[in-house]
């Protein structure tokens, strides 16, 4: 059964500027995902506005599961932190983050959606510390190491990657259904 028949939220794959337009080809086919990249090289606020527009166009306004790899992961986390109403979960493949940037740590603290980090480990001594900071820095973070796989994991081992993210998306949707809807307060 196709994943989009099982899940209620769509999947938006975020590309960074240097990635080819078919960077998430396997995920587009396997998950029914939409691949998206910003126009130009916008700053964070413009990028967030473009991403929100993409969610409105491609996912009926959201919320969506946000999939990102490598250098696109920090902006996926930023989207989840600033617009949690648009994001069900973050699915991060082999994240590349700037651990020296204090803003990175602040964004991690603000992310409240479930976050799955999948990292490739071609050798037993592969450094997975960047991935660990993402998974450990988000309150609902989980990390999976795919042994014997080269980075990027979503391209070198798409079947395993898809299995992990599909299971996690189902869990995230179950968790989101337990959260009561926000109440609007009447101000007289």
Domain ranges within the chain, ordered by starting residue = 16-177
- Whole-structure pTM over 0.75, yes or no? yes
pLDDT in tens, 115-170: 999 999 999 999 999 999 999 999 999 999 999 999 999 999 999 999 999 999 99
Range 16-177 has CATH code 3.40.50.1820: yes
Of 104, 107, 110, 74, nearest in space to 92 by CA: 74
Strands 87-93 and 64-69: parallel
């Amino acid at each position: 059964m196709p994943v989009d028949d099982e899940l209620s939220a769509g999947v938006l794959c975020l590309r960074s500027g240097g990635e080819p337009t078919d960077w998430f080809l396997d995920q587009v086919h396997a998950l029914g995902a939409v691949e998206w990249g910003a126009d130009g090289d916008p700053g964070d606020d413009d990028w967030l506005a473009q991403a929100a527009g993409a969610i409105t166009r491609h996912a009926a306004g959201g919320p969506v599961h946000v999939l990102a790899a490598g250098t696109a992961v920090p902006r996926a986390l930023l989207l989840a932190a600033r617009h949690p109403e648009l994001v069900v979960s973050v699915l991060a493949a082999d994240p590349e983050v700037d651990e020296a940037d204090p803003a990175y740590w602040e964004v991690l603290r603000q992310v409240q959606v479930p976050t799955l980090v999948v990292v490739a480990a071609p050798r037993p001594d592969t450094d997975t510390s960047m991935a660990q900071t993402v998974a450990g820095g988000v309150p609902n973070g989980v990390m999976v190491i795919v042994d014997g796989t080269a980075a990027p994991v979503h391209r070198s081992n798409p079947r395993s990657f898809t299995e992990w993210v599909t299971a996690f998306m189902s869990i995230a949707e179950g968790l989101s259904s337990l959260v009561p809807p926000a109440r609007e307060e009447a101000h007289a």
